Structure 1
Amino acid sequence: MEGGTMSVIRKMYTTEFKMKVVREILREEKTLSQIASEYATHANVISRWRDQALVALPGAFNDQAATDQAAKEAAWEKEREELYAEIGKLSTQLAWIKKNVATCLTRDERIQLIDRSKADLSLSVQAQLLGLNRSSLYYQPVPVLATWYIRSQNCHLRLLLFSICLVHET
């Protein structure tokens, strides 16, 4: 490869393939090197598979492991149902609060409830919860400038005088 690093593509082996290789190792008819070259893998990889299989082997004959797993799954399912119930309860409460805040408070009061220092609750989420447009949080009214008003009035006077002149000419 020119001027770059060579990327390594890791081989992925199926469980069935790993079991087949481990069975071959446990037969002890061939050396690890022979098995590794036969299956085109590294000797360290297949020795790691053998060690994992030997560690897991006692659990294969123990009914207690299956019972423990079933108990864990039941506890997980119960916790999941409790969390879904809590989510439903909180969703209902949130909908109720949104409805009542929008109807009981004026727009200005709801804008005062916005906390701009909250990092974990963005302004757009706060605005949505309070029933406000996000853009209204950034709006700053621009005061009418006196010079603009005078120019505007001056233009109106000119237009008025021009129209009066037109009427008198006809």
Structure 2
Amino acid sequence: MITYSIQTLAPSRTPETTLATEKTWYTPEEKLNVYLDIWQNKKTVVQYAQELGISVERIARWEQQAAAFIGKLLHGQEQLKEKQNQLQQQLAGTQSALDKKSAHLDWLKTTLAANTSRKERSHWVDYHCRDLPLNVQTDLLKLNRSSLYYKSAAVQKKQ
């Protein structure tokens, strides 16, 4: 029967010769701290391996994982910045278009009020329109909303 040692993963012939040590698990934060210390030249890989009682290869895997993770983070930040720039450009374009439409609307209101009578404009009001409320219609037509409800009384002759 062939078994594997947990520490070295080397095959051994009998269970009696297998080292009965448990693998120590390290959190991602601990691994990252080791990687950062090595990267900042605070300690060498060999010093950490001896201090933690693990193999140099294991620390090398941690370094690879940390480097890959940091690379993904940096790439993600670049993508976020690109997306932010795109959205800012879209917003600027939308704001510009909105400013133009607002100027056009103001011009139409002024021109309409100057070139048509109040009576003509009041005939254009659609009381049953659900898409454009009455207060919006009166604003666009430069009318006083309360004047739409006014009905002139018939003039009675004095006897």
TM-score by length of 1: 0.49
- Alignment match, 2:136: 125
- Alignment match, 1:32: none
Comparing both structures, which one devotes a greater share of its residues to helix? 1
Change (3 A) 1:71 1:136: same
Q: Report the residue type matching 2:154 in the other structure.
A: P
- Alignment match, 1:64: 75
Q: Which 4+ residue blocks in structure 1 deviate beyond 6 angstroms?
A: none
Structure-to-structure mapping, 1:14-93, within 5 angstroms: 26=27, 60-62=70-72, 63-93=74-104
> 1:59–1:65: 8 Å Cα contact kept in structure 2?
no
Structure-to-structure mapping, 1:139-154, within 5 angstroms: 139-144=150-155, 149=157, 153=159
Percent of residue pairs identical:
30
Q: Over residues 11-66 of structure 1, what are the superposed CA-to-partner deviations in whole Å (9 max), with x where a residue is unaligned?
A: xxxxxxxxxxxxxx947xxxxxxxxxxxxxxxxxxxxxxxxxxxxxx765413211
- Alignment match, 1:98: 109
1:110 to 96, 113, 121: 121
Structure 2 residue runs of 5 or longer lacking an equivalent are: 1-25, 29-67
Other structure's SS at 1:143 match: coil
> 1:127–1:134: 8 Å Cα contact kept in structure 2?
yes
Task: State the distance in 1 between where 2:69 and 2:135 align.
Answer: 53
Q: CA RMSD in A?
A: 2.3
Other structure's SS at 1:108 match: helix
Q: How many residues align?
A: 94
Change (3 A) 1:99 1:64: same
Task: State the distance in 2 between where 1:92 and 1:59 align.
Answer: 51
Q: Over residues 100-141 of structure 1, what are the superposed CA-to-partner deviations in whole Å (9 max), with x where a residue is unaligned?
A: 000111111101111112223221121121111111111112
Task: State the distance in 2 between where 1:67 and 1:59 align.
Answer: 14
